[in-house]
Structure formats: structure tokens, C-alpha cells
Amino acid sequence: DLRARTLIPVLAVCLACAVSFPIAQMFCFGKTDYRRPADAIVVFGARVYADGRPSDALADRVRTACQLYRNGLARRLVFSGGPGNGSIHETEAMRQMAIRLGVNAEDIWLDAAGLNTQATVKNSELLFRRWHASRILVVSHAYHLPRVKLAYQRDGWDVYTVPARETYLLRQMPYNMAREVAALWVYYLRPLA
């Protein structure tokens, strides 16, 4: 059938575009470092193991944020995340690591209800309003930052993203990127639904 033979290549091109657009954003926008002086730094959580150790992904994010803090780019750190695999919450593991890296405990705020990207955005916005903050740095991995930026922009906040400096390429990166392709489209299309 002629219609089916012409439709298949068109669908293949559409699918390729639907996948390549978010991936291009991850590599072009996500890997670009927009650091500058700010009122606060928000760090998105990642896994904490049952023994309380932060995963390599989480450690990369916290180290990056602490370096921004030590460089004097912001005096407030917001650690956002959910429960760990054991009794240590992601945000508590982040706080402990940051203090070991030289951050003053009184400069740390914890968002223990940051169970996902949207929750972290909403919860941190409450702090921004209380602080009358206007310039915010956000730290996560490059694959995550386009969606983070989009979520804040939808709520009227202009944030500056800083990709976590990775100590090595994470083994689960292909999975994370594939999942993020779908998640980014959900965020793009959500206002249209």
C-alpha cells in the first residue's frame, strides 16, 4: 500500500526529531555553565544508599554547589530531595557532606518534600519569595537542567543553571537521558493539556 510506505518514513523522521530535540538541549544547554552571583543555590537530590552514603550523582551535585558557595557566588544553599534507601534522608546526607566541605550550617536550608522536579521548584519558590530573591543558581546534571529551567520559567522565575561537575561518566547516564527525553516532552506539553 502506497500510503503506508510513505507514512512510515514520515513517522520515522518525526520520532527522530522528537528524540533528538531534547538530547540536543541536554548537550547544548544542559552542559553550559551559567554561574554568576546569586541570592541562593538550589541543589536537586539524588539517591542516598542505605548506609547514608550519597550516590556518586548526588556527591557530584553537592560538590559543585559547595564550590559555588566557597567561590562567594551565593550565601544560601537549598538542598531538596526525598527519602534515602535507609534512615538517612537525601537532604540530610547533602547537608552533612556540605558541612564537611566547608559550608556554614546556618547557610543551609533543607527541602525534605522535594520528591520530584516539580515539587522542588514549588517548594524552593516559597523560600525565594520569603528572601525576596531574584537571582537563583540551580545545580543538577546536564541531562536534567533543561527541564528544571523550563519548570522554573513556567512559574515566572529566571534561574541560571550550573551542571554538576562529574567525577566520571555515570554508568546509568544513557538510562537517565532516555527517561529525560520523555519527561521533557511531558513538561513541554503539560500546559496544552
Render pLDDT for 110-149 as a digit per residue (tens, 0 to 9): 999 999 999 999 999 999 999 999 999 999 999 999 999 9
Query: Could you tell me if 49 and 90 are in contact, meaning their C-beta atoms sit under 8 angstroms apart?
Result: no
- CA dist 67 and 73 (Å) reads 9
Give the mean pLDDT of 75-98.
96
Q: Which residue has the higher pLDDT, 133 or 10?
A: 133
Query: Could you tell me if 77 and 39 are in contact, meaning their C-beta atoms sit under 8 angstroms apart?
Result: no
Query: Does residue 154 surpass a pLDDT of 60?
Result: yes
Give the mean pLDDT of 162-180.
84
Residue 101's pLDDT is what?
97
Residue 182's pLDDT is what?
84
Query: Does residue 192 surpass a pLDDT of 70?
Result: no
Residue 79's pLDDT is what?
98
Residue 171's pLDDT is what?
75
Q: Which residue has the higher pLDDT, 185 or 121?
A: 121
- CA dist 98 and 59 (Å) reads 10
Residue 39's pLDDT is what?
97
Q: Minimal CA–CA distance to 171: which of 60, 56, 24? A: 56
- CA dist 52 and 186 (Å) reads 32
- CA dist 32 and 14 (Å) reads 27
